[in-house]
């Protein structure tokens, strides 16, 4: 599984993804989300999917 935030400049900075799955998403110094683990283990899939579903900007994607 590969996780991306794209385009990152559309991030709204609400931190939802970082709350859902802090192992994969963090907020940077500019207040935008970054992916800190782009190839996470399967046990994080549900949390990542929640982040993806709840992202208001719809910019989180999961590739198999």
Verify binding: residue 48, ligand SF4, rule CB under 6 A: no
3-state secondary structure 4-44: EECCHHHCCCCCHHHHHCCCCEEECCCCCEEECCCCCCHHH
Verify binding: residue 24, ligand SF4, rule CB under 6 A: no
Q: How far is the CB of 30 from ligand SF4 (least distance, A)?
A: 11
Verify binding: residue 14, ligand SF4, rule CB under 6 A: yes
Q: Where along the sequence are the contacts to ligand SF4 (CB under 6 A)?
A: 5, 11-17, 33, 55-57, 59-60
């Amino acid at each position: 599984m590969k996780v991306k935030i794209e385009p990152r400049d559309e991030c709204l900075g609400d931190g939802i993804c970082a709350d859902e799955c802090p192992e994969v998403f963090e907020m940077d110094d500019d207040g935008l989300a970054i992916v800190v683990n782009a190839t996470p283990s399967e046990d994080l899939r549900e949390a990542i999917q929640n982040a993806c579903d709840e992202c208001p900007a719809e910019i989180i994607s999961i590739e198999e």
